[in-house]
Structure 1
């Protein structure tokens, strides 16, 4: 693991430490949604890395990649590939858990203001805003590529539709429509 993979893993370790420090306090409450999305993307990539490393260890050749007559080396390669397979399975479970957390935070209306007066719930959108938002969501969903239609895509889409439908119904109830 020299060059590209080694350098990339060192950058990942440094970035993870930076993120651990940065998430002690968020600048804006709504930043949590973006952080979850980036974290979920990173976790999916980590799962892929674990699977690739497991496969790489399985494909190594005694005498070419490690010592031929060194039983501990053979055992170490076998142990690494089996444990990496297990780690990849656990990473898949973590992906599902993070996906649910991401879906949960996607419906929260955060208060991002700094002053106490900004902490009141924002006014519901009026007729024009509610119709515009409701019209935009289906076209945004339609423009999604086939391979981007993951479980999180459907959770996020459902949450987005729920929000615009609630705003439309509130506009109707308030007599704006």
Structure 2
């Protein structure tokens, strides 16, 4: 397993599916877990130990409301943590600010509200730093993305 996807509630599953979709596009192995930094902190620590021993290289953590999960995870590992703020209150702004405003020396990379797909792509880019084949596939992905955008918008837009 290269990436772990962790989120605090089964109600977050649909939002976090985007991360899994992005990882699948590149053939990246992952495991997903529903864990809470507040309700089951001991289980969270147990799973963090397990995934590190299984070779996990990056963790994607989604959280809403208090949004402590990504920061708590980052405080217990040296693996990169990517936070996904989930819109649970205040249009997700509270979650975004909670995740992005980490104290010095405990960073959490943070993507946009409900944008777990970007978290997955960022994880792929991190893994590509040590995998030349994956780096080439990421470059090709961008080329195709640009070509598709141009083709879809080449004839103008009807309003």
Q: What TM-score bracket applies, with the shorter chain setting the length?
A: under 0.3
TM-score of the two chains, using structure 2 as the length reference: 0.26
The structure richer in helix per residue is 1
What TM-score results when the alignment is normalised by the length of structure 1?
A: 0.24
Q: Which has the larger radius of gyration?
A: 1
